[in-house]
Amino acid sequence: MRDMKVLVIGSGGREHALVWKLKQSPRVSAVFCAPGNGGIAVDATCVPIKISEHDALIAFAKREGIGLTVVGPDDALAAGIVDRFEAEGLRIFGVNQSAARLESSKVFAKEFMLRHGIPTAASGQFSDPEKARAFAAAMKTPIVVKASGLALGKGVIIAETHAAADVAIREIMEERKFGDAGAEVVIEEFLDGEECSIHALVDGGSYLLFPSAQDHKRALDGDRGLNTGGMGTFSPADKVLPPALEQRVRTEVLDRFVAGLKADGLDFRGMLFPGLMVTADGPKVLEFNCRFGDPETQVLLTRLESDLLDLLDATIDRRLAGVAPKWSSEAAVCVIMASGGYPGAYSGGKEITGLADAKATVFHAGTKRDGGKFFSAGGRVLGVTALAPTLAEARARAYSAVDGIAFEGAQFRRDIGAKGL
Ligand SMILES: Nc1ncnc2c1ncn2[C@@H]1O[C@H](COP(=O)(O)OP(=O)(O)O)[C@@H](O)[C@H]1O
Ligand SMILES: [Mg+2]
């Protein structure tokens, strides 16, 4: 029966993909998004409530009779939005505040991994800068210095020299460049290898592994330039994570993760998205994210043939063990079109043309709509996403759509998915 109203919280490309997919559910009657963006407003009713306004979100969900709220961003989870909704008797998808510490505290995550034998980089953790410096001084370079808390994906510094590690420790811990996120740091060995994104729904006792995906974090072709929120993704990423390695991810990461939850009494129901480095010694966890990836969600949901609502329901109700969704055997590619200058300073308000003719699914990450026209309104603006029988064809389709879309200063990579070929 089509009688369920859903509310998606967030305003980026990931949330647009969640809205787009949930709207296709035969059980969903209406999709709302708070606060959403210009493109999301085409697929959902956007409500102007900020992610941090929990009371207003709860009041809206009650007034509108929302049957399920789905949380996109990490900061909402870390702020305890799930605990608040549940205390009000409202159904919500996402991890509770206690489980969200696996993302919001890299120290907490590291201790969890060590306690439960999950492979990760050798490291030390410090709240005293003197001790952090002494530890780094005894390490081989490059040295990885991480602010423990949430730092908008900017709190990790790869120091090529001991002097650079000292600077990073000073800036993070003493100058508090990332605020309180830098009260503690993790200092770890540099791992060589290829990165890969894993997604698994976890219901506290079981998990459901999604296909693999690979992100492109650097701004420029050939993995050069500054780190960004992600310039594009493709799925599957079976060249970096072939079946034998995926099996190791199951036994060494996910099985141990779920056993660790039970041992520690953590009620983790939601999406687990570990960032992996696939090294010569096998997969190692760089970090745990406790929500859908952005822009991984754009390619994963494009490949998902089953109803996403069923999967979210099974997670909340601890029924994942019996669930086997259908995935397209085709490949998906998402190319991010960003504002010129991103991830540095950029200006918005540029008119976007060519959207209506695009032969791809265009997820909006940062746009505004004004009188039927769309304008850029963020660093990442669009995620142009195509599905095709092979990765090469999916790339060709995505780039052909990108070439038909324009806005002043548009910046994107030409090599998304190339390393998967
Ligand atoms: N131990 C490591 N060795 C090599 N590169 C690393 C290591 N840890 C992190 N990185 C790099 O830094 C990026 C960000 O680190 P991550 O732990 O994912 O933190 P966040 O996403 O919160 O910034 C990773 O995607 C990876 O490219
Ligand atoms: Mg990361």
pLDDT digits (tens, 9 = 90+) for 154-201: 899 999 999 999 999 999 999 999 999 999 999 999 999 999 999 999
| Positions of CATH 3.40.50.20 in the chain | 4-96
Percent of the chain at pLDDT > 90 equals: 98
Residue range 322-336, pLDDT digits in tens: 899 999 999 999 999
Class for the domain spanning 194-420: alpha beta
- Residue 295 has a pLDDT of 98
Indicate if the pLDDT at residue 252 is higher than 90: yes
Which numbered ligand comes closest to the C-alpha of 153?
1
Bond preceding residue 129 cis, omega within 30 of 0: no
User: pLDDT-based confidence at 152, cuts 50/70/90?
Assistant: confident
Determine the residue of 197, 286, 296 to mutate for testing ligand 1's pocket, defined as the one with the most ligand atoms within 8 A of the Cβ atom: 286
- Residue 153 has a pLDDT of 81
Indicate if the pLDDT at residue 28 is higher than 90: yes
Which numbered ligand comes closest to the C-alpha of 277?
1
Class for the domain spanning 128-183: alpha beta
Residue 191 alpha carbon, nearest atom of ligand 1 = 3
| Positions of CATH 3.30.1490.20 in the chain | 128-183
Indicate if the pLDDT at residue 1 is higher than 90: no
Cα 11 to the center of its chain, rounded Å: 13
| Positions of CATH 3.30.470.20 in the chain | 194-420
CA 346 / ligand 2 centre spacing (Å) = 23
Residue nearest to atom 14 of ligand 1 (CA): 156
Place of tokens 């979100």: 57
How far apart are the C-alpha atoms of 309 and 93, rounded to whole Å? Answer: 10
- Residue 154 has a pLDDT of 85
CA 375 / ligand 1 centre spacing (Å) = 32
Tell me the one-letter amino acid at 250.
Answer: R
Ligand 1 lining (C-beta closer than 6 Å): 121, 144, 146, 153, 155-156, 188, 190-191, 195, 217, 275, 277, 286-287
pTM reported for the whole predicted model: 0.97
CA 275 / ligand 2 centre spacing (Å) = 6
- Residue 280 has a pLDDT of 97
Element (H, E) at 130: helix 129-137
Average pLDDT over residues 84-109: 98
Residue range 284-303, pLDDT digits in tens: 999 999 999 999 999 999 99
Q: CATH for 4-96, among 3.40.1710.10, 3.40.50.150, 3.40.50.20, 3.30.390.50?
A: 3.40.50.20
CA atoms within 13 A on the CB side of 252: 16
Cα separations in angstroms, 227 against 48, 49, 352, 363: 30, 30, 25, 21
The overall average pLDDT reported for the chain is 97
Tell me the one-letter amino acid at 198.
Answer: I
Average pLDDT over residues 141-145: 97
Average pLDDT over residues 340-350: 96
- Residue 312 has a pLDDT of 98
